[in-house]
Chains A and B, each alone.
Chain A
C-alpha cells in the first residue's frame, strides 16, 4: 500500500508541472517564430500576479474574474513586450537579417533589459517584500479524497492549465491565427509568400505566451500565497529548462518535460529535502545538454 503522503506529493508535483508548462509554452512559441529566447518571460508571470493582486485588494472580484483579468493583463504585457523589446530589431525582414545572429543577440539583450526594468519598477512601486494576499483568495482549502488530502489549488491549477492547453491545441490546429503561428515557425519566408501578416502573427504569439505566463503567475501566487517582485525568476528558469529538454520548438515536448520536471521536484522534496528541488531542474538541463543536444522530443529542425 502506497503511503497517501506520496500520492499527495505527486498531485502537488503535477500541478506545479502544469504551471511550468504554461510558462514553457510561451518560451517555445516565441522561440518558434523568432528563434530567440525571451528573457522577459518571467516578468510576465510576475506582472500577472501583481496586477491581479491589485485588482483583488481594490475591488475584491470573484475568482473567475481574477483569472480573466490576469489573462487580459498577460495579453497586454505580451503585446507591449514585443513592441518594446523585439519589434525595433526587426526593421529588416529579408532572409539574411532574419537568420543573422546579431539580430538574435540584440533581442536577447533588449528582453533582458526590459525584464530588469520591469522587476525594478515593481519593486519601487510595491517594495521588495512579500505582498499580503487576502486570505479568502488563497486556493488552499483541503479536500479529502479518501486518505489523500489535496487542496483546492491543485484542482484549480490542473483544471485551468488543462483547459488552456486544450484551447492552445485547438488554436494551433483549427484557427487561422494558430496555423499562421505554426507556418511562421516552420518557414518564415514561405509565410510571406502565402500572404500571412508576419508582424501580426508575431504579436499574437507574444499575446498568447503572455496570457499563459500571467495566468501561471496568479495561480501560483494564490496557491502559495507568495507574491513578490522576483517571483518570476525561478519559474522562468524552470520553464526554460523544460523548453530545452523538449527540443526548443516542440510544444508537446515542452509540456511533457515541464510535467516531468514538476513531478521530479516534488519527488526530490519528498525523498531528499526541499533544498534539492532546484537542483533537479539544473541537473536535468545538464544531462539534456550533454546527452540529448536535440532535446528529448526535438525533431531535427529543418533549415532551408
Chain B
C-alpha cells in the first residue's frame, strides 16, 4: 500500500513551469530515491510536498488523504517532515531548542529514540546549533525532523557538502530510520550512495521523471551508470 502518492504534479514559479507532471509513489516502509543533476526540479518537488511552494496542478496524497497546497504546519501535522536542503536549522538557538521545536505538539516525547540514533547530539544539547560542524548540523536537521514522529521523512540532499566518511554514516542512519518504520523519500545528487540504500528510484531531468525502477536494476542500467555513476558498463 502506498503511504504517499504524488500524481501528475506541476509547479510554476512565476511564469516558468519547473515541474511538469511528476508522479511517484512511496510504498509504506520503503525508501524511494529521486536522482538528478542540479537544477532539474528535485528541491522544488520536495518544497511542494512540504507546502513551501504552491502546486499548480496535480495531487499529493498521504494515506489516501490530499495534502496538496495545505499550510506547511498542517502538512507536518499529517506526518510529513522534511530535513530540507541547506539544513535550515535555527543557528542562534541551542541544539535542545531546535529539537523541541522539531517536536512541535509532541514536545520531547521522541527525544530518547532520536538521541539513540544520533548519540553525538546528546553531548551537544546545550550548545548553540550554529557552532556545530557541518556533519553535526546535518544530523541535527534530520533529528529535528524525526522529533515530530513522521510517517514520511523527506530528505533533501543529506550528503551535500559532507566528507565521504560522513556521507556513509548518514546513509547508514537513513537505513536505520526506515527500520523504525518511517518511510523515506530522498533526493540526492550522490546517486551511488542513494541507490545502495533505496528500494526504488526515479531519475528527474528538466522537471520530468525520465526513468524509474527498482534500485537494483537502475544500478546496472547503462544510462544511469554513464550519466550519474561516472562509469561504463563493461
A interface residues, Cβ below 8 angstroms from B: 94, 176, 179-180, 182-183, 185-187, 189-199, 299, 302, 304
Bound state CA distance, A183 and B144, in angstroms? 13
Q: Is the CB of A192 within 8 A of B92?
A: no
Q: Type the 1/0 row for B108-150, where 1 means its CB is closer than 8 Å to any CB of A.
A: 0000000000000000000000100000000000001100100
Can you identify 24 A-B contacts, CB atoms within 8 angstroms? A94-B53, A182-B92, A183-B101, A186-B93, A187-B89, A190-B90, A191-B101, A192-B50, A193-B52, A193-B76, A193-B82, A193-B84, A193-B145, A194-B81, A194-B101, A194-B102, A195-B77, A195-B81, A196-B73, A198-B73, A199-B71, A302-B92, A302-B130, A304-B86
Interface pair B89/A179, CB less than 8 Å apart: no
Q: Residue on B with the closest CB to A182?
A: B93
User: Contacts of A304 on B, CB cut-off 8 Å?
Assistant: 86, 88
CB-based contact B148/A194 at 8 Å: yes
B90 close to A187 (CB less than 8 A): yes
Known: A195-B77, A196-B101. A182 touches B90 (CB 8 A): yes
Q: Cβ of B27 < 8 Å from any Cβ of A?
A: no
Point out the residue from A176, A183, A192, A199 that lies within 8 Å of B90, measured CB to CB. A183
Shortest Cβ gap from A32 to chain B (Å) = 10
Q: How far is the CB of B8 from chain A (nearest CB, A)?
A: 22
Q: Which B residues between 61 and 97 are near A, CB-CB below 8 angstroms?
A: 71-73, 75-77, 81-82, 84, 86-93, 97
Query: B100 within 8 Å of A by Cβ?
Result: yes
Q: A193-B82, A195-B76, A195-B148 are in contact. Are A180 and B101 (CB under 8 A)?
A: yes
Please give, as numbers and ranges, the residues of chain B lying within 8 Å of A179 by CB-CB distance.
93, 97, 100-101
Q: Distance (Å) between the CB of B47 and the closest chain A CB?
A: 9
- Closest Cβ neighbor of B103 among chain A residues: A194
Beyond the given pairs A190-B87, A197-B71, A197-B73, 15 more chain A to chain B contacts, judged by CB atoms under 8 angstroms and listed by A's residue number, are: A179-B93, A179-B101, A182-B90, A183-B101, A187-B91, A190-B84, A190-B89, A192-B50, A193-B72, A193-B82, A193-B88, A194-B81, A194-B101, A194-B145, A195-B72
How far does the Cβ of B51 sit from chain A's closest Cβ, in whole Å?
8
Decide yes or no whether B104 CB sits under 8 A from chain A. yes
Cβ-defined contact, B90 with A186, below 8 A: yes
Q: Please give the distance in Å from A60's CB to the nearest CB on chain B.
A: 44
The answer to whether B84 and A186 touch across the interface, beta carbons within 8 angstroms, is no
Question: B70 → chain A, closest Cβ, in Å?
Answer: 11
Q: How far is the CB of A157 from chain B (nearest CB, A)?
A: 31
User: Shortest beta-carbon distance, A30 to chain B, in Å?
Assistant: 17
A202 to B104 Cα, complex, angstroms = 17
Q: How far is the CA of A232 from the CA of B27 in the complex (A)?
A: 60
- Measured between alpha carbons, how far is A186 from B76 in the docked complex, in Å? 20
Chain A nearest CB: distance from B149 CB in Å?
Answer: 11
Complex alpha-carbon distance, A302 and B86, angstroms: 13
CB atoms of A192 and B52 under 8 A apart: yes
- CB neighbours of B101 from chain A (8 A): 179-180, 183, 191, 194, 196
Determine the chain A residues whose CB is within 8 A of the CB of B100 once the complex forms.
Answer: 176, 179
Q: How far is the CB of A175 from chain B (nearest CB, A)?
A: 10
Output the least CB separation between B100 and chain A (Å).
6
